[in-house]
Amino acid sequence: IQAEIQTEKNKVVQELKKKDSKPLPPVPLPNLIGINSGEPADPDIREKRNKIKEMMKHAWDNYRQYGWGHNELKPIARKGHSTNIFGNSQMGATIVDALDTLYIMGLHDEFREGQEWIDKNLDFSVNSEVSVFEVNIRFIGGLLAAYYLSGQEVFKIKAVQLAGKLLPAFNTPTGIPWAMVNLKSGVGRNWGWASAGSSILAEFGTLHMEFVHLSYLTGDPVYYNKVMHIRKLLQKMDRPNGLYPNYLNPRTGRWGQHHTSVGGLGDSFYEYLLKAWLMSDKMDTEARKMYDDAIEAIEKHLIRKSNGGLTFIGEWKNGHLERKMGHLTCFAGGMFALGADGSRDDKAGHYLQLGAEIAHTCHESYDRTTLKLGPEAFKFDGGIEAVAVRQNEKYYILRPEVIETYWYMWRFTHDPKYRQWGWEATQ
């Protein structure tokens, strides 16, 4: 299957050259790390891994029974549910989003159930307004991942169909896409709560990897051109203190409120810069430079140590640092570690250490709660250390960012504490 996909990619590249199109950066096939038929030698690790697999099967089976085809499941009410990010149509968001996890875990019967539903029922010709960002990462990303893992054509076909439905969102004066688009009419708009009618950095900045792959798989450079236009526009803009504000007006091309965050509204923009470089076999030096420049500004203006010695990443709001860190921001520990190799000035050790410090801080936010599950946000101010203060921040909604950072730190260091911390959260 891998050989066939690579052959197909090579054909696409040759066709693009014939059209005198700008050549796309090389995107090698992913190494399918961790997908094997072996079992861990350590019986304790084997038991824990099987428990995680059991949890996944429990979630899938109950969704299969009570919410099949719906975007989400309300587990207490035992009925299907959809939020505004996926519109009002039953598009099986949970099915698509879970495919690669099912495959990697070896739950192939469940994977085939999902594939069958997608083949027969997944239809994007619906009068639904959806989030471009959410649909890209969960649907297009999920379908592409399933295609690369299994080689099943249906996933590629559906991904391309959906991508075509998202393209009208880019019809703005600047080419910065709207946050929402109607899949039937193509009409787009931005969130009413966003500053000055702006698009969101983490949303329009988190399209690159999927859209580059779409151009490879279809031979159509339109997807690649859309995301590269976004990149070029961002490169030309002035950035206050070298930081990217979270809001950009798609009509005027001007920043909205000067609010910078490595958490909500900003987070995955930085992640995608780094991963675009990695995905290109480290040939996309433009993406790497943008990442390095951004991280240097973040270190200078947002990263601090608390009185208790905890490293945290605050938020920049109108010239002031808010000493608060969101759960979403905790992904950055893993990102710093992932970006250590290839960093400027031989600072690999520095960024690996920074990743470890962020992992420790986020673990503390878990450890200092009764349930040992971290809050939505936590403060470092006036003697408060890694603890939620406001009632509307004292909740946990299965966010993965802390576990994600543990995973990266385990992979890079093999320090057993990261596995232990993950197991604590599991329990």
Q: For residue 172, what is the DSSP state?
A: S
Contact between 270 and 291 under an 8 Å Cβ cutoff? The reply is yes
The region of weakest confidence among 25-34, 102-111, 125-134, 190-199 is 25-34
Tell me what the mean pLDDT of segment 226-248 comes to. Answer: 98
Confidence of residue 3 (pLDDT cuts 50, 70, 90): low
Joined tokens for residue 325? 């860190």
Stronger pLDDT, 27 or 338, i.e. the higher one: 338
Q: Which stretches within 302-372 are classed as H helix?
A: 332-338, 348-367
Catalytic residues: 134, 267, 376, 401
pLDDT at 137: 99
Nearest to 355 by CA among 303, 294, 420: 303
pLDDT of residue 62: 98
Q: 56, 94, 88, 53: which is closest to 74 by C-alpha?
A: 94
- Mean pLDDT score, 401-416: 98
Across all residues in the chain, what is the average pLDDT? 93
pLDDT interval class at 16 (50, 70, 90): very low
Helix (H, G, I), strand (E, B) or coil at 210: helix
Q: What is the pLDDT of residue 382?
A: 87
**What number is the average pLDDT over the span 24-28?**
48
Residue 39 has a pLDDT of 83
In whole angstroms, give the CA distance from residue 56 to residue 51: 9
Residue 247: its H or E element: strand 247-248
Write the pLDDT tens digit of every residue in 43-70: 999 999 999 999 999 999 999 999 999 9
Higher-confidence position of 90 and 19: 90
Q: Cβ of 367: how many Cβ atoms within 10 Å?
A: 13
pLDDT class of 151 with cuts at 50, 70, 90: very high
Could you tell me if 150 and 167 are in contact, meaning their C-beta atoms sit under 8 angstroms apart? no
Per residue in 351-381, pLDDT tens?
Answer: 999 999 999 999 999 999 999 999 999 999 9
Q: What is the pLDDT of residue 40?
A: 87
- Give pLDDT, residue 230: 99
Nearest to 220 by CA among 3, 5, 19: 19
Write down the domain spans for the chain: 1-24+43-284, 302-427
CATH code for residues 1-24+43-284 = 1.50.10.10
User: Which tens digit of pLDDT belongs to each residue from 87-133?
Assistant: 999 999 999 999 999 999 999 999 999 999 999 999 999 999 999 99
Residue 334 and residue 57: Cα distance in Å, rounded?
27
Q: Is the pLDDT reported for residue 18 higher than 90?
A: no
Mean pLDDT value across residues 410-414: 97
How many CB atoms are closer than 10 A to CB 240? 15
- 21 or 268, which is more confident? 268
**pLDDT digits over 297-336, tens only?**
999 999 999 999 999 999 999 899 999 999 999 999 999 9
Stretch 204-211: mean pLDDT, rounded?
99
